[in-house]
Amino acid sequence: MAHEHHEAGDKQFFGHGEVHDGQADHGLAHTMPLPLLFGILGALLVLTVVTVSVTSIDLGQQGNLIVAMVIATIKAGLVITFFMHLRWDRIFHLILFLTSVLFVILFLSMTITDRGEYERDIESFRNAQQQAEKK
Amino acid sequence: MSEPTPEAAAPAKASSAPPPAAAAAGHDHGHGDGHHGHSQYPHLAHHFDTPQQQFDAGKLGIWLFLLTEVLFFAGLFCAYTVYRAIRPEVFVYAHYYLDTTMGAINTCVLLLSSLTAAWAVRNAQLGQHSLLKLNIAITIACACTFMVVKYFEYSHKVHDGLLWGPNFAPKVPVWELESFKKKHPEAAEYAHKLAEHSKQKGAAATGAVPATAAAGPAVPLATGSQAVIPPLASGSAAPIPSPVAHVDAPPTGSSPAPAASAAPAGAASAAAPAAAAPAALAAAAAPAANTAPPALAPLPKPSRAALEPLLKAGLVGEKAEQREGISRPRNAHVFFGIYFFMTGLHGLHVLIGIGIFIWMFVKAQKGVFGPNYFGPIDYSALYWHLVDLIWIYLFPLLYLIH
């Protein structure tokens, strides 16, 4: 059941996995082999168990969040690559998707930096407010 | 039940592997070689040349749509990130109210449905009609299971007063929750004692002991216990905003009570929300109150293990005077605003997904899908995987906070 699509090489840039072994190609797009589908589901379920059980271990202040996000990203990667066929799809669709991810990262990081920028002002405002309430 | 596109009629491209040379010719997507008449493809729209072109156009369309969906959800993830960065203790506090088991069940259900959706695409490609219908049906069933579990979760939240904004009034304080007790037994015990202690102290300080005792039960438990907590007049010059500085102000929005100091004078203002009338009464009872407190022995100093979880959840503060009482962190309701918005929008997507897959089931029933026409199944599955993808992030972010 070896589905070696790696040799397809640069043709994958234009998608459709036109080099294949028997069941891989059915005209319009690549067909997912069943063992791969079930393998991915198994991996996703195992990662879910891991992410739940790792919560009970203390990994420092941000450690747990980072681990949880790394696991979630691995899971997301599996879903995108295999369930969503991006492994065999046109590279343009991957570029589209990564562009959206890039913009999400930009969005989040800019907001966070901006928020940090005014941290001090917010603090002094809050302290002043508390002072005023005390009087 | 007519089989619209006989396998034999499929273009040469599909029926047999092209020779390597042809494949290597490469950048041709089938526009060149196979201009068959449209009559051969009953599901080929007239504005497309080939099924391949139609499929590719649809696929590009769905990917563009998914891209906007990612950005759409990004706004909510941004709100989450910013608020968690500002007030981590609120998230620690609130996550005890969420049922991890239900969240985990839903995760597994969605993952399973993702498999069946991907499998359905394969079925459609291979023209396996009965398997296709079965897989679509399982996908729908999983989606419904997800929504049923969500329904139970939501109804628990509503029942326990865990709602957004001014509706937030938890019936059970966090340290009385099973999830909290299980994780931090010592902390739960200490928190319980602390709450009792400050309740008694508050009752004693207000002077009119029987009066407050009578007034107490009228208010819901959580708010009742909070009202009598000695106002946590925090160290004003605190460099870091003290997470517990204030008890949530009542929705009326009057300037929050904590302005009062912890001195006996503050006792009257602690009771202020009740009414103006008892003020005179409290003042009259003040001498009596002064004699009452000595009976109340101070609580023993808690162990670090008991204190740590309370600190992290913002129930007590770092400073000594912030440990005399216990209260939920300020603006804890924002977590539930974020929770309901994120899971609600995701749930809406699941509902839409159910609709789409019912539509696909009807189409599959008619037997329209085959090697040359499976785009709709593929696009629906892609949408469904994205819904799954968002849940993959939502689950640890909301349910699995350490």
Rounded to the nearest 10 degrees, what angle do helices B333-365 and B375-399 cross at?
A: 160
- Pairwise pLDDT comparison (B313 vs B208), residue with the higher score: B313
CB pairs under 8 A between A and B: 182
Residue B127 neighbours by CB distance under 10 Å: 20
- A64, closest residue in chain B (CA to CA): B402
Is the confidence at residue A12, as pLDDT, over 50? no
- Are the Cβ atoms of A28 and B52 closer than 8 angstroms? yes
Report pLDDT for A4. 42
Q: Rounded to an integer, what distance in angstroms lies between the CA atom of residue A9 and that of residue A12?
A: 6
Q: B373 by DSSP, 3-state: which? A: strand
- Are the Cβ atoms of A97 and B63 closer than 8 angstroms? yes
Percent of chain B residues topping a pLDDT of 90: 39
Q: Which of A14, A21, A26, A131 should we substitute to test contact with B (largest number of B Cβ atoms within 10 Å)?
A: A26
Q: pLDDT tens digit string along B244-297?
A: 434 444 443 333 333 333 344 434 444 444 444 444 444 444 444 444 445 566
**Under 8 Å between Cβ of A18 and B27:** no
Q: Rounded to an integer, what distance in angstroms lies between the CA atom of residue B127 and that of residue B295?
A: 83
**Under 8 Å between Cβ of B224 and B217:** yes
Percent of chain A residues topping a pLDDT of 70: 81
The top-scoring range by mean pLDDT among B28-32, B178-182, B336-340, B398-402 is B336-340
Interface of A with B in 59-88 (CB under 8 A): 59, 64-65, 68-69, 71-72, 75-76, 79-80, 82-85
Q: pLDDT tens digit string along B333-342?
A: 999 999 999 9
Report pLDDT for B134. 96
- Are the Cβ atoms of B402 and A64 closer than 8 angstroms? yes
Q: Cα–chain-centroid distance for residue B352?
A: 19
| Tally of helices (H runs) and strands (E runs) in chain A | 4, 0
Residue B40 touches partner A, C-beta closer than 8 Å: no
Report pLDDT for A100. 94
Is the confidence at residue A92, as pLDDT, over 80? yes
Is the confidence at residue B187, as pLDDT, over 90? no
Interface of B with A in 111-130 (CB under 8 A): 111-112, 114-115, 117-119, 121-122, 125-126
User: Rg of chain A's alpha carbons, rounded to an integer?
Assistant: 23
Report pLDDT for B298. 66
Q: Which amino acid is at B298?
A: P
Query: Which candidate, B240, B244, B239, places its Cα nearest to that of B317?
Result: B244
Q: B343 by DSSP, 3-state: which? A: helix
Report pLDDT for B58. 94
Q: Return the residue matching tokens 């004003």.
A: B236
Cα of B123 to nearest chain A Cα, Å: 9
Residue A89 touches partner B, C-beta closer than 8 Å: yes
Q: pLDDT tens digit string along B9-27?
A: 444 444 444 444 444 444 4
Sheet strands (E) in B121-169: none
Q: pLDDT tens digit string along A95-120?
A: 999 999 999 999 999 998 888 787 78
- Are the Cβ atoms of A115 and B82 closer than 8 angstroms? yes
Q: Which of A71, A83, A111 should we substitute to test contact with B (largest number of B Cβ atoms within 10 Å)?
A: A83
Residue B67 touches partner A, C-beta closer than 8 Å: yes
Q: pLDDT tens digit string along B48-106?
A: 998 999 999 999 999 999 999 999 999 999 999 999 988 888 998 998 999 999 999 99
Residue A106 touches partner B, C-beta closer than 8 Å: no
Which tokens go with A29? 């797009």
Q: Is the ipTM of this complex over 0.85?
A: no
- Are the Cβ atoms of A69 and B119 closer than 8 angstroms? no
Query: Which candidate, B312, B347, B209, places its Cα nearest to that of B267?
Result: B209
- A82, closest residue in chain B (CA to CA): B118
Query: Which candidate, B150, B63, B100, places its Cα nearest to that of B345?
Result: B150
Is the confidence at residue B28, as pLDDT, over 70? no
- DSSP designation for B323: G
Which residues lie below 8 Å from residue A109, measured CB to CB, with a gap of 6+?
Answer: none
Q: Which amino acid is at A39?
A: G
Q: Collect contacts of A41-47 with beta carbons under 8 A, ≥24 apart.
A: A41/B111, A41/B112, A41/B114, A41/B115, A43/A78, A44/A75, A44/A78, A44/A79, A44/B111, A44/B114, A45/B108, A45/B111, A47/A71, A47/A74, A47/A75, A47/A78
Q: Which of A7, A16, A28 should we substitute to test contact with B (largest number of B Cβ atoms within 10 Å)?
A: A28
Is the confidence at residue B131, as pLDDT, over 70? yes
pLDDT band at A49 (very low <50, low <70, confident <90, very high): very high
Q: pLDDT tens digit string along B349-400?
A: 999 999 999 999 999 999 999 988 999 999 999 999 999 999 999 999 999 9
* CB contacts, 8 Å: A39 with chain B: none
